[in-house]
């Protein structure tokens, strides 16, 4: 089974080989070519640098309620719009609720849907956190059904949570 190097090891390897780049560039710049009757003639594409792979980006997900709300608000400001229909508000609220749960799960929190009044309906603006064996309810929107005003998300405490598992998100 191959062993993947740690990020620190990769940095050391890259730095080690980067010291060879100036020497290679110097030799290429001198136009020193070994001639051979069987050697292929150089082409422009043979001397051009290959495109680099795009850098791998990783997202640092929040691991507490207030930071989680700020993260989702910053990422989806268009979903906070006011002056929309009730149906649009519900769709936006459900979308944001699910993004809060997903980002929180990616940040290491155990979050899930709340079953409204014990079920079977899922709350739009209330989620459940499982911590140390206890279920803790969190209200995540202030006055969300007032569609004339922009939606305001926050991390508040609530009572009578009923946890329902949320599918595992793909954390990228």
pLDDT at residue 34 tops 70: no
Domain ranges of the chain: 65-164
What average pLDDT score do residues 138-157 get? 96
The tokens for 74 are 């910053």
Q: What are the pLDDT digits (tens) for 35-49?
A: 444 544 454 444 455
The answer, yes or no, to whether residue 58 has pLDDT greater than 50, is: yes
Per-residue pLDDT of 82-138, as tens digits, reads: 999 999 999 999 999 999 999 999 999 999 999 999 889 999 999 999 999 999 999
The answer to whether the predicted template modeling score (pTM) of the entire model surpasses 0.75 is no
**Residue 6 scores a pLDDT above 80:** no
Q: What are phi and psi of 32, to 5 degrees?
A: -90, 115
Averaged pLDDT for residues 146-150: 96
Indicate the angle between helix axes 20-29 and 7-18, nearest 10 degrees.
Answer: 30
Integer CA distances (angstroms), 109 to 62, 65, 132, 158, in order = 9, 9, 11, 17
């Amino acid at each position: 089974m191959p062993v993947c190097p740690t990020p620190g090891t990769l940095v050391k390897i890259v730095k080690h080989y980067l010291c060879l780049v100036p020497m290679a560039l110097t030799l290429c710049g001198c136009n020193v070519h070994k001639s051979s009757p069987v050697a292929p003639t150089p082409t422009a594409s043979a001397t051009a640098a290959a495109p680099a792979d795009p850098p791998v980006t990783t997202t640092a997900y929040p691991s507490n309620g207030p930071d989680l709300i700020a993260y989702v608000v910053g990422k989806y400001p268009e979903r906070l719009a006011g002056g929309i229909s009730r149906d649009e508000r519900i769709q936006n609220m459900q979308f944001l609720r699910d993004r809060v749960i997903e980002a929180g799960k990616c940040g290491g929190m155990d979050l899930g849907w709340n079953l409204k009044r014990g079920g079977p309906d899922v709350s739009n603006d209330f989620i459940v956190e499982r911590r140390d064996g206890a279920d803790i309810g969190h209200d995540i929107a202030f006055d969300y059904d007032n569609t004339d005003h922009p939606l305001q998300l926050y991390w508040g405490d609530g009572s009578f949570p009923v946890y329902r598992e949320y599918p595992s998100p793909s954390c990228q």
